[in-house]
Amino acid sequence: MAKTSENPYVVQPVMKALRVLELVARHGHEIALTAVSKELRIPKTTTFRYLQTLSAAGFLDHNRATDRYTLGPQMRSIARADASVSKIRGLARPAMTELMHEFNETVNLAVKGNGTIVYIDLIEANRSLRMQARIGDSHPMHSTALGKAILAFLPEAERQRQLDLPLTERTGRTLLEREEIERQLRQVARTGYATEMGENEDGAMCIGAPILDEHGYPVAALSISAPLMRMPHSLAAKAGARLREIAAGISARLGSQPAIAPR
């Protein structure tokens, strides 16, 4: 077999299992062990083990009734998440660049993770003083403008569930009282953007607006972050309005209906 010649670091079991995964996935319908084994010329026993492993990991689904295999939830879930993220990133990027130039501050894009927000893109201002998140970082919902923007537009039940979790204290100014947080979230829902002042990182502030999908669900948020000293109230209000506007534009392109329908 000349298969190994390519890359000395490929682990054969993994490679073969991936071929099984691909075959099953592309088959488009339930397929049985023997069929896979014959098609790929991998002995039945080995194929069996791969199918078991792939199923155990959720990448395949084993229908016990028919003893056949299909694409599993894990694959679908990963694909969905990825498609959603890249769609949002793609839609947001031009607007983010524009925003960055407009205010000459760093612009961030984050999606809602499980109880956190995860940065998926950011465009850095060309300034010496800046404290940045990195793409892939997670931050708590309640201590960031990005998170507060999302929280404010979450369905009531889910928001309550989020706020019931223990709230970590990132800085001395991090909001921890339920009352105060809820008051702010109502405010965010009214104005359409959230503000955070030194609650996540000392000396830094952030203004964020939510991005809603076609169901009106806040899947992501857009923000501008700056050192506290560089962002006076008047400028913050202007930035908030601008963020709201741009985020709404992205939401619209995700299929979200604006509050007041045009046409």
Partner DNA sequence: ACACGGGTTTCGTGTTGCGGAATTCGATAG
Partner DNA sequence: CTATCGAATTCCGCAACACGAAACCCGTGT
Tokens of 205: 């502030």
Rounded Cα distance between 109 and 100, Å, is: 12
Do you know the residue count of the chain? 263
Compute the least distance from the CB of residue 67 to DNA, in Å.
4
DSSP-derived letter for residue 217 is -
- Sequence-distant contacts of 4-9: CB under 8 A, at least 24 apart: none
Among 10, 131, 165, 229, binds a second copy (CB under 8 A): 10
- Nearer to DNA by Cβ, of 13 and 115: the residue is 13
Q: Give CA separation, 37 vs 2, 55, 62, 227, in Å.
A: 20, 16, 16, 60
Contact 47, 33 (CB under 8 A): yes
**Per-residue mark of binding to DNA, 21-40 (x: CB under 7 A):** -----------xxx------
Distance CA 254, CA 242 (A): 19
Nearest to 66 by CA among 24, 111, 31, 15: 31
Q: With CB cut-offs between 5 and 8 Å by kind, which of DNA, a second copy, none does residue 33 bind?
A: DNA
Which one of the spans 48-56, 145-153, 212-220, 223-231 is the region binding DNA (CB under 7 A)?
48-56
Tokens of 211: 């991005």
Min CB(52)–DNA separation in Å: 7
Among 73, 78, 115, 245, binds a second copy (CB under 8 A): 78
Query: Does residue 60 belong to the site contacting DNA (CB under 7 A)?
Result: no
Of 42 and 205, which CB lies nearer to a second copy in the complex structure? 42
Kindly tell me which of 75 and 95 has the beta carbon lying closer to a second copy. Answer: 75
**83 touches a second copy by CB under 8 A:** yes
Binding site for DNA (CB under 7 A): 8-9, 11-13, 16, 32-34, 42-46, 48-50, 67-68
